[in-house]
Amino acid sequence: MKIPILHLEEGIHHYDFTIEGGSLHFYREEVYPHEMQVHVELNKFERNIKCTIHVETTAHYICDRCLVEYERPFAEDFEVLFHIGTRDLITDEEDVIILPPETVDIDLTERLQEFLILNVPMKMLCTDTCKGICAGCGADLNHEECRCTEQPIDPRWLKLKELLDKSPER
Ligand SMILES: [Zn+2]
Ligand SMILES: [Zn+2]
């Protein structure tokens, strides 16, 4: 995702990128296995460059409760600010990336990777009402009954069990 900036005119410029699924290679890439559409709106003003980046793809999650894999549309925006020159000129407290004056192009790939990692949800749920998996019997409670509380043992069998338990070990 390189954008040439050396002789870029001031004002707004648009760039589109298509990133093939699985081509980014970064930590948590398994969450974003599908093709990604990226649109960059670049605004150059004097020695400042503001990039507004719009990302669209389908994210792939695993439910924390029932371990089912599910997908959701992902469409988010983020901004990256650059300044050509030295840090001394910056009065802004915002996160600004300083570029040496001879910079030929900017590569937004790393910024995108960071953004995607930050957007992996802390909690993944296939549905808000997901009942999860029973820790006792392993039943997927969305689709089956818990088997932990099986039918109570027939009292007659219980009697026999007691007798067996009391009998001396063989
Ligand atoms: Zn679930
Ligand atoms: Zn159970």
User: Tens digits of per-residue pLDDT, 33-73?
Assistant: 999 999 999 999 999 999 999 999 999 999 999 999 999 99
State in Å: Cα 12 to ligand 1 middle.
Answer: 44
Per-residue pLDDT, 91: 59
List the structure tokens of 61. 């999650």
- Token pair 């932990």 is at which residue? 148
DSSP code of residue 120:
S
Ligand nearest to the CA of 130: 1
State in Å: Cα 19 to ligand 1 middle.
Answer: 29
State in Å: Cα 137 to ligand 2 middle.
Answer: 4
State in Å: Cα 119 to ligand 1 middle.
Answer: 19
Ligand nearest to the CA of 69: 1
Per-residue pLDDT, 154: 67
Per-residue pLDDT, 132: 95
Each domain of the chain, given as residue ranges in start order, spans: 2-118, 131-170
Ligand nearest to the CA of 63: 1
Residue 163: band (very low, low, confident or very high) from pLDDT cuts 50, 70, 90: confident
* Beta pairing class for 48-62 and 69-84: antiparallel
- Per residue in 65-87, pLDDT (tens digit) is 999 999 999 999 999 999 998 76
Q: What angle do CA 50, 52, 54 make, to 5 degrees?
A: 165
Per-residue pLDDT, 45: 94
Ligand nearest to the CA of 124: 1
DSSP of 84-119: ES-GGG----S-EEEE-TT--EEE-HHHHHHHHHHT
- Token pair 């990256």 is at which residue? 80
State in Å: Cα 158 to ligand 2 middle.
Answer: 22
Pairwise CA distance, residues 170 & 158, whole Å: 21
State in Å: Cα 110 to ligand 2 middle.
Answer: 45
* Beta-bridge partner residues of 4: 105
Quick check: 28 and 124 in contact, CB under 8 A?
no
88 alpha carbon, distance to own chain's centre: 35
State in Å: Cα 156 to ligand 2 middle.
Answer: 25
First vs last C-alpha separation in the chain: 76
- Per residue in 97-109, pLDDT (tens digit) is 989 988 999 999 9
